Chains A and B, each alone.
Chain A
Amino acid sequence: MSPKETKWLAPHASILVLIAMAIAAFAQSSSPKLTENFPAGPMQAKATTACTECHEARIIVQQRLSKAVWAKEVDKMIKWGAVVDAADHDALVEYFSVHFGPDQPAYEAPRTALEKGPGKKK
């Protein structure tokens, strides 16, 4: 690299780094996030097995329900085919109540890519 080139680069280096980081951030921001996951916790694996056979976790993650309502929902889903060991029933209701109770902040749903404009489909 010539001294002239080095001299040009020095004051612009921060901008170039920012551009590179911004490009990386864009690439990440458009990465697919097709399915939601359950949060870490003692029942994470069992909730995944019991629920995601039929539907993705997002439908649960977005709920904000009391423990009594969670108990009714879990019982309904067991009737509809969710496999939950009787010994895990109460722990599963507790797990949902703790993570998806009425006092938790609202779930922020993602969007599908735009046909045109920023964030458009690749």
Chain B
Amino acid sequence: MNSRRTFLRQFADVALILGATAPFHTFAFRAQSAASQPDSIDMPGADGLIVRSSRFVDLETPVECFNTWLTPVPRFFVRNHMHEPSMILASDLKAEGWSLSVGGKVEKPFSLTLAELSKLEAHAVVNTLECAGNGRSLHRPQVPGVQWGRGAVGTARFSGPRLRDLLQRAGVKASGKHVMFRGLDEVPGKVPPFIRSIPIEKALDSDTLVATHMNGTPLTKNHGFPARALVPGWIGAASCKWLTEINVLDSEFAGNFMSPGYRFPNQPGRPGEPVKPEDTHPLTAINVKSVISVPLDGSKVKSGKLTIHGAAWAGEADIVKVDVSTDRGTTWNPAKLGRDQAHYAWRLWSYDWTAKTGDYSILSRATDSQGRTQPATAIWNPSGYLYNAFDQVKVHVA
């Protein structure tokens, strides 16, 4: 691979040195572009995503794609804990044989086909969905799990019936305190099934959905067709895909993905040290965070005016400001927040910088309406959740 890249760069140089005509310039440009890319993999519905795993499918959005408020579906990260349901893969998006049941601690259990679900009143929520493990690869010491960089996050307009409407139709009993979601994920070996639950208060929130659409089109197979939970502001794992069963429970679901999975230390510990299970709590809302999407880390830019771009989000809170530093954190300047906003959605931001020749570390730091600010160092934890240190890119200005 490296030798091929080297060759391509050399070819580009040779073509230019030879004083090639216009078509050669075009060709040389393409050679340089291709040389900066690793081998690409053809995967339907995934547009230039970083492949963390192809089986199970785990795909990350490159940060340079965070240039639109709504992330196009083919560029939206994908996180699967298990194999995709073969029934869904074979369904050709018709959902024949699929149904959604609502049961447990309810007066009148029922189930719906997709056609029946689609007749219910729909509600839309623009939500920034982030995997709890986004940024895991940046924790030190490193921890096991999908080695996400900064792009296991995206923003979309999710729509579908309110979960509350389904629960009210079933009639939740007084003993119903948690709502469990089961998807059709296919479990290999003796792996525990991917089942999780949320507290009844969040389930009854008017913005918690059984989403059937994303950015106005039916969910794709990668994103949970025909229906998924959408628990806005919370870690992505709460928003169970390929949803087929909603079960009201009297207590939190007892399973691997509630404990020991997806839990966070009650108190920050020493990096690398184990944390006792009794000293942890379940992850719920995501925390305050920002990323820099332009310029790219390790890039070379021309001196002069340069606009730094990025996105910032805060789960159930709102972003109130983003500060940018171009001198490794000695001084901070406010960024301009983008016009588009919604309660659970990120804000795009920009900062105009006059860049002088030299090497720089550009930092971004978001603050939210709960008074939380991104820290210089994220809280280390054994599973690498909720990484939210200042974002940083290094650039050379020439």
Contacts and interface: CB of A to CB of B under 8 A. Distances in A.
A33 B46 contact: no
In terms of DSSP, what is the predominant structure of the interface of chain A?
loop
B242 to A, nearest CB: 18
A6 interface: no
Interface in A28-87: 28-35, 53-56, 58-59, 62-66, 69, 72-73, 79-82
Contacts, number: 141
A54 B144 contact: no
B33 interface: yes
A18 B188 CA distance: 48
Contacts of A31: 39
B142 A122 contact: no
Indicate the size class of the contact surface on chain A.
35 or more
Contacts of A73: 144
Contacts of A117: 33
A5 B87 CA distance: 62
B324 to A, nearest CB: 26
Interface string B11-52: 100110010100010010011011001111111001111111
A25 B74 contact: no
B191 interface: yes
B176 interface: no
Nearest to B58: A59
B144 A63 contact: yes
A58 to B, nearest CB: 5
Interface string B313-351: 000000000000000000000000000000000000000
A56 B41 contact: no
Contacts of B15: 15, 18
A9 interface: no
A19 to B, nearest CB: 7
Nearest to B147: A62
A19 B191 contact: no
B48 A115 contact: yes
Contact of A107 (B11, B143, B147): B147
Contact of A111 (B7, B14, B37, B191): B37
Contact of A32 (B7, B41, B48): B41
A101 to B, nearest CB: 10
B146 interface: yes
Contacts of A107: 147
B95 to A, nearest CB: 26
Given A26-B34, A80-B189, A122 B51 contact: no
Contacts of A118: 30, 33-34, 37
B56 interface: yes
B8 interface: yes
A80 B52 contact: no
Contact of A63 (B4, B142, B189): B142
Contact of A81 (B46, B52, B53, B189): B189
Given A29-B37, A121-B42, A111 B49 contact: yes
A110 B189 contact: no
B55 A35 contact: yes
Contact of B40 (A30, A54, A108): A30
B18 A15 contact: yes
Nearest to A77: B189
A59 B146 contact: yes
Given A58-B52, A112-B48, A65 B144 contact: yes
Given A66-B141, A81-B189, A112-B49, 8 more contacts: A32-B42, A33-B39, A53-B188, A55-B56, A58-B54, A112-B51, A114-B48, A119-B37
14 contacts: A15-B18, A21-B11, A22-B8, A26-B34, A34-B41, A34-B54, A58-B52, A59-B58, A66-B141, A80-B192, A81-B191, A111-B50, A111-B62, A119-B40
